[in-house]
Amino acid sequence: MTSTNETTYTLFQKFQSDQTSRFLDFQKNQFEEFMLRYPSEKTTTEITDLKQTKKSKEPEKTDVEITDLEQPEKPKLKLKKPKAPKKPKRARTAYTFFSQKENKPMKEKNPTATFGELSKLISVAWKKMNVDDKQQFIKLAKQDKIRADKEKEEWDKTIISMANN
């Protein structure tokens, strides 16, 4: 079995080297054809030689000479369009007002509770509340809804005026 593996491997090596040599021959022929068609094109070696000769011919510039050189003209800055104001925040719900109020007391009662556990405790407390107790938070939510509606109207007006300009 080892002889079969060695034979397969040697065949693969021969095939690989044959493919590589074919490709190199192809590449060489293509390059020669290109040079015959376009004799004015410079090869990469000629280009690198030119770069090296230019570097050796140019005298080194000192700091004084560099500062004396004329600066290229800077392109004119384009005027930026004014950005649209940020969209106003949405109205808060009665539950969010309740959870904001109850968060600290719940945290003091349960100092080892995680954020998720605190949220569950607050939601259970909200569900246990009767409608009369929830009225203060519902009232706050209605006031916040009025505020959010006013801000949205103003925002809409500014957006429309910006679009018209």
For residue 119, pLDDT over 50 is answered with: yes
> pLDDT tens digits for 55-88?
565 555 555 555 555 666 777 777 777 677 788 8
Concatenating the DSSP letter of every residue in 64-105 gives HHHHHSPPPPPPPPPPPPPPPPPPPPPPPPHHHHHHHHHHHH
Mark 105-141 as b/e (b = at least 16 C-beta within 10 Å).
Answer: ebeeeeeeeeeeebeebbeeebeeeeeeebeebeebb
CATH superfamily of 94-164: High mobility group box domain (1.10.30.10)
Mean pLDDT of 103-109: 92
The answer to whether the predicted template modeling score (pTM) of the entire model surpasses 0.75 is no
pLDDT value at residue 1: 47
Cα distances (Å, whole numbers) of residue 56 to 48, 49, 139, 148: 13, 11, 84, 72
Higher pLDDT, residue 157 or 44:
157
Spans of all domains in the chain: 2-62, 94-164
Inter-residue contact 158 to 84 (CB < 8 Å)? yes
Average of per-residue pLDDT values in the chain: 80
